Amino acid sequence: MNETTAESVSRFLRWAESRIADEVESNEKFEAKAGTRDIVIKYDGLALCKTSTADRAKVVKDIEEMKSCGEVISKCVKQFNISASTYYSWKRSLAI
């Protein structure tokens, strides 16, 4: 069965309407359970935009020191609440 463009659009709109209704219901359940509409996102990492160059350099140097003592990179970066890719990015940008 070949579907016409109008039928395809109509099917999509029904799907979208159902999806939006499900999302609204989910949000209302969250609001009722949490008592608020606000979602609080907790982030303990060092935010790139809020971290000074000096702080980044200190973190990179501290991780380098830990690595020289035989610590693996995954444990080092975890202590500073950053990802390995952030560490390597900071190291590259600071040319350390």
Express each pLDDT in 35-81 by its tens digit: 776 655 444 555 556 778 888 899 999 999 999 988 899 998 888 88
Residues with Cβ < 8 Å from 77, sequence gap 6 or more? 63, 83, 84, 86, 87
What is this structure's pTM? 0.50
| The pair of three-digit structure tokens given for residue 66, joined into one six-digit string | 């830990």
Say if residues 37 and 75 touch (Cβ distance below 8 Å): no
Segment (H or E) for 94: helix 84-94
**Predicted local distance difference test score (pLDDT) of residue 41:** 46
The pLDDT-based confidence of 85 (bands split at 50, 70, 90) is: very high
Note the pLDDT of residue 88: 93
Per-residue pLDDT tens over the stretch 2-31? 789 999 999 999 999 999 999 998 888 877
Q: What is the pLDDT of residue 1?
A: 58
